[in-house]
Structure formats: C-alpha cells, structure tokens
Chains A and B, each alone.
Chain A
Amino acid sequence: MNPHRRSPFVIAATVLVYFFLYAPIVMLILYSFNSSRANVKFEGFVTAYSSRVVMDGSTVVSSPCGPFHWFCDLAKNDDVLEAAGNTLAIAFTATIIATIIGTMAAIALQRYDFKIKPFSQLSLYIPIVIPEIVMGIGILTLFSQLFGWMNNAFGLTGDARLSLGIATVTVSHIAFMVPFVTLVVQARLQGFDKSFEEAAMDLGANEWTTFRRVTFPMILPGVLSGALLAFTLSLDDFVITFFTNGPGSTTLPIYVYGLLRRIITPQVNALSTVWILIVFLAVLLLQVLQSREAKPAHE
C-alpha cells in the first residue's frame, strides 16, 4: 500500500514524459511516408492512389513501391547496405571477443588476488568515467602515430599501408565494451558459490571440464546479459567509431550522420523507421522470452 501511487502529479508527469519520448519517434515514422523529397514540408502521404512523388517541387516521378517509396529507395542504396553490414560484422566480432576476455577478467577479479589486480581494476574503471571523445581521440592518435611510423619504417605503400578501417574500429569497440561486460558478469558472480566447482573437481572433473559442465552453465545468464549489453553498445556507438573508422568501414550511425550534413531525404526517415521497427521487434521478443522463462516454475 503506497500513498503515492494514484498521485495525479505523478501520473500527469508520466504521461508527459512518455509523450516527450515518443513524439519525435512517431513523427519520424510519419515523415518516412512523406511525398515530398525535400522532406522539409509534409506534403501528404505517398499513397498507393497518388503514386506520384513530388521531387524538388518540380519534377514528378511515379512511385512503383506505393507508400513505401522511400523504403524501396533505401533497399537500393548500396552505401546503406554496406554500412549495415559493417555495423553487424563489427558488433558480432567485438561482442564475442569482449565477452570472452571480459568474463575471464570478471572471474579473476571476483575470486583471486593477484599482483596486477589494482591496475586491472583501474583500467576497467577509467572508460566509464571519462568522456568517450577523450578515449576516441586518444586511440586515433595512437593509430595515426603508430601507422605513420610503421608505414615509414617498413616502406609500406598502396594496399599494404596500414590505415584506419574495420580492424581498427573493431579493436577499439572491444576496448570500450570490455569494462561493461566485466562489470555485469562480476555482479552476477557475486552470489556464486565455489563449492559447486569444488564438488565437480572432487568427482573427477579437471579444471576445463569443471568450467565447461558446471561453472559456465551456471554463469551463462550473466554472461549473456553482458554480451547483449556489449552488442548494443557496439551497434549504437558513434564517437569511438567516428574517430577510428576509415574508408570502407562506415557504420550505420556514421552513415546517418554524414547524410544529415548533406542532403536529407525521407530515405533517412525510412532508415530510422526500419531501425525502430527492428528494435521494437527485439524488445517484443525479449518480453516473450522473459515470460517463457518464468513459466517452468509450475511443475
């Protein structure tokens, strides 16, 4: 029983804040059906009936995809597809590596005392308390100085030249993701009773088998949480990627940013809508999974 629950102030504030959160998104989606290419004014919906699209106010082009004109445009945009591909590839690779080394580090920090422990803890702590841009330009500096020197020292030219690209982005992503993975896994490890592992070893399992058959299944939810968080961070990252990417390694956020500084067509909105839709489906999926997990308790 709580006196505040029905407070009108709280309810009003809640409604307003949710409105504030969603108004821009709703508007974004609406505009992806804009029949004006300039996207400045909403000229009305591109519908199947008026399969006409006003381009720059003068030229008229018919719209084969009906209301989804801009979405079709998007699908034909190779740059977007490449950026999407890069984003996913980087996110997957970085997540896998960051999860593995992050989990190892979490176990180390939670259970052992070792000489470099304070240093490890400090290193994991720093990325959380400094602005991303500081880390971003630092890494950029590192790569530019390092590559510059190596290219000169070894006389590398052309394709052999070391430069910024997918590798540098991925490696940098791992660096800023690892502290989060470690934090999450460490939090889950706190309740973990060592006696399960001792029992396994007592029964004849060596260290690796114990980890594989007993420890890992038990910490899996925590590891998955950490991996999910890492994946999200990578997908969404802008700042670090901004400073460490090069030609051919554009990711979606970078691509959208670039678009925003040039010509803005409703294609950007279409891209946004697709993105929002995917997020929405993912969230729905998560909710289904969560409620499924809760069920087996009734046996």
Chain B
Amino acid sequence: MASEFAVELRDVVKRFVTPEGNEIAAVDHVTMQIRNGEFFSMLGSSGCGKTTSLRMIAGFEWPSDGEVYIEGKPMGHTPPFQRKVNTVFQSYALFQHMTVYQNIAFGLEMEGAGPDEIKKRVGRALEMVQLTGMERRKPRQLSGGQQQRVAVARALVKTPDVLLLDEPLGALDLKLRKEMQLELKALQQQLGITFIYVTHDQEEALTMSDRIAVMSKGRVQQLATPVEIYERPTNKFVADFIGESNFMEGKIKSIAKDEAKVFVPSLNKEISGLPMSQDFVNGEEVVVSIRPEKIRIAEPAAKGEGLFKVQVLNSVYIGSDTHVYVDANGLRLKVMEQNRISRLDPSSFYSKGQEITLYLLPENTLILKKD
C-alpha cells in the first residue's frame, strides 16, 4: 500500500539534555513531506537539526513529540532494523573487520538471503558503483572515494524505498566531490527511489536536489525547489544563507497583492518590490532584499524615477564578473556585473570614489519580514 509520500514528518520535536543540564530542542516542530522518487535535501549549518531529523527517519533517534511516517505508516518508535530505509553514513561506518564483500552482504544476511542470491546481488551492487573486483579488500585498503562507494553499495543492495545520505561527500576533495555529486544524482534517477540528502554545502544542494528544506535552529525555514529557494526566499535567513543578498531597512508605504512600495531611508527613495509574506501592514518596518547580480548599473546619463546614485568603495575583478562594493549614505551594497565585453582598460572597471547610478527592478526586489 503506497502512500502519497515516501516519508513524512508531522510536527516532530526532538529534545536533548545538554551536559550542563539544560534541555534544548534540536528539532523544533518540523513538518515535511517528501515525495516518492524525489531527490530531497536538508540544508543548513551545523546544529540546525538536519542530521537529527535524518536520524529520526533512520530510527537512531526517536521523536520526543510528533510522528515520523514512512510509506504512510507511523514508524517513529520503531527500531532501525525494522524500517525499510537505509543510510549512507558521513564516516561511511564500514565494518573494518570485514571485507568489502562481507560488508555489502551483511544487510542481505540479515534478510535471510541464501548464499547464491547474496553473491548475485552483491555483484550487481558493486557494478552499480563501479567497484567490481574489490570484493576481497578490507576497508582500510581502499581510498576515501572507494570507501564511500562501498557505503553506498551496502545501503542500496537492500533495495530500500528510501536512501538516507548524511553528508556523504564531506571527506572527499573538491574534484572527487563534484564527480560523486553527478554520479549520485545519476544513480538516483536511474533507480527512481527517494533520496534524502543532508548537507551544509549550498551548491551541492542546489545542483542535486528536486526540493530543498533549508533549516536553522531546529526549524524549517523554507521548503521549495532550488529555483524557488534562490529566487524567492521567504525570509531573511534564507535570503542571507543561500547565495548573497543585499539588505536594506524600510517602511511599507502601500501594499497590493503582488507589489509593495517601501520607503528606504538610506536611499531616500520609495522602492517597489515583491512582498514575500501575506500579512504585511502599512507602516510596518521591513527588510528589502536584492541579490548582487540583480542590481543594475545604469548608464551615466540615464534618467528616471527609480535611479539612485552611489559611490564606489571598491571594485574587484573576478574574471567572469566584477564585484562592485558601493556606499549609499552609509548603506553598503554589493553589485555583481557580468563582464560581457572584453575590455583591458582598467578605468572601465569602476574606480574607487567613482559615482555610479544603480536601479532595482521590482521583480528582483523582495520585501521580507524583519526578524
């Protein structure tokens, strides 16, 4: 009986007692619905609750409140060995005293599979991660990348409904990490099973996931597709955590469904933007957020209402882009402009002290709740 969702967390709370004796909620009323066959990521910095949430899905922790549903059944207080989910650990957790073959076969032995079946399935699992021929090796004889693949094979050989991955690529060097990201994504699409992936690396989450849950302080800040998370962050935390954002303080002058007008004192101007919350009121103090690449630098001679002048503090040439740091009456902004035209003349890259004109497009400007 398949349910609508592969995994569901309903108002889950997990409390721990610190060594000092205080009680903290590592996971604080989290609700998530993870769909069948999707590549779902939980993203956040350490301590945000993503790993604890994953462990509650795996069964290594049991929720203090709320319930964890797997394939529609409440499994919050079921031991891990009775759940049809498998985990790839951050440290790989390969059994050092067993060979690669034995490691992968372990889960099948637990299922009571016969030796022939085990041999067949282990062989296929090794093929899947391109480690055929490594059966007799011991974990300490393998490289980090190879160990990581064994960990994946060991989990997948059991054909779980859901695969949990706890920062599996953290210990690999950059190049290998990028390779493995592509491989894992391809694997997931090939197998069609649900992957739940925990990481603190934004780029990783944005490139691999179908949907991302951005977490902080035990709560889900936003759960959406990568594009939505990047282009439409719903609160200041997400806007700041994902990519880069410029923030300005202002007061709401008027609100309509898709447009809000905010007066920003630092610019001494009224700005139009997209309200990211339903319940703004006139006169409310809010935060205006816009990403560096979305701020336009106008031609020096341009004229118009939405333009404002700023002074260049610093200009950094990155090669493909130029990062321009400007000052607007004490407000610091960062602007990122793609170097569309190949120029060698240094003076064409905005010098210190130069006055330039910027403008903001309403559809690029987000109005967010002040914390």
- A and B touching (C-beta < 8 Å)? yes
Chain A contacts to B: CB under 8 angstroms = 193, 195-196, 198-207, 209, 213-214, 217-218, 299
User: Would you call B107 and A204 a contact (CB within 8 A)?
Assistant: yes
In the assembled complex, the Cα of A217 lies from the Cα of B141 at a distance in Å of 19
A204/B93 in contact, CB under 8 A: no
* Chain A residues in 8 Å Cβ range of B86: 202-203
Residue from A196, A206, A217 within 8 A of B79 (CB atoms): A206
- Chain A residues with CB under 8 Å of B154's CB are 199, 203
Are the C-beta atoms of A205 and B110 separated by less than 8 Å? yes
For the complex, is B12 an interface residue (Cβ under 8 Å from A)? no
Complex CA–CA separation, A201 to B59 (angstroms): 9
Which residues of chain A are near B155, meaning CB under 8 Å? 202-203
Q: Which of A193, A196, A204, A218 contacts B110 (CB 8 A)?
A: A204
Query: Chain B residues with Cβ under 8 A from A203's Cβ?
Result: 81, 86, 106-107, 110, 154-155, 158
- How many whole Å from B148's CB to the nearest CB in chain A? 14
Measured CB to CB, the nearest residue on chain A to B83 is A202
Q: Chain B residue with minimal CB distance to A218? A: B97
Taking a contact as CB atoms under 8 Å apart, the answer to whether A204 and B96 are in contact is no
B171 to chain A, nearest CB (A): 13
Distance to closest chain A CB from B325 (angstroms): 44
Interface membership of chain B positions 265-305, coded 1 if the CB is closer than 8 angstroms to chain A and 0 otherwise = 00000000000000000000000000000000000000000
Chain A residue with Cβ nearest B166: A195
Given contacts A203-B107, A204-B110, A299-B141, contact A193 B87 (CB under 8 A): no
Separation of A12 and B108 alpha carbons in the complex (Å): 63
Contact call A209/B58, Cβ cutoff below 8 A:
no
Give residues 134-163 of B contacting A (CB, 8 Å).
Answer: 141, 154-155, 158
> What 1/0 mask marks residues of chain B from 77 to 109 whose CB sits below 8 Å from any chain A CB?
001110001110111011111000000001100
- Given A204-B107, A204-B110, A199:B97 Cβ within 8 A: no
Is B116 at the interface (CB under 8 A from chain A)? no
Contacts of A199 in B (CB 8 A): 87, 89, 93-95, 154
The interface residues of chain A lying within 8 Å CB-to-CB of B141 are 299
Partner of A196, one of B58, B90, B95, B111: B95
The complex places the Cα of A200 from the Cα of B98 at a distance, in Å, of 12
Residues of A close to B106: CB separation below 8 A: 200, 203, 205, 213
> Please, which residue of chain B has its CB at the minimum distance from the CB of A297?
B140
Q: Tell me the complex Cα distance, A195–B168, Å.
A: 13
A214 to B90, CA, bound (A): 18
Question: Given known contacts A195-B91, A203-B110, what 11 new A-B pairs fall within 8 Å (CB)?
Answer: A193-B91, A195-B90, A196-B93, A199-B95, A201-B81, A202-B60, A202-B81, A202-B85, A203-B106, A203-B158, A206-B79
How far in angstroms is the closest Cβ of chain A from B161? 14
Specify which chain A residues have a CB less than 8 angstroms from the CB of B95 in the assembled complex: 196, 199-200, 214
Please state if A205 and B93 are interface contacts (CB–CB under 8 Å): no
A216 → chain B closest CB, angstroms: 10
Q: Scoring B residues 175 to 196 as 1 if CB is less than 8 Å from chain A, else 0, what string do you get?
A: 0000000000000000000000
Chain B residues contacting A213 (CB-CB under 8 Å) are 106
* Given A195-B89, A199-B87, A200-B106: A205 touches B96 (CB 8 Å cut-off): no
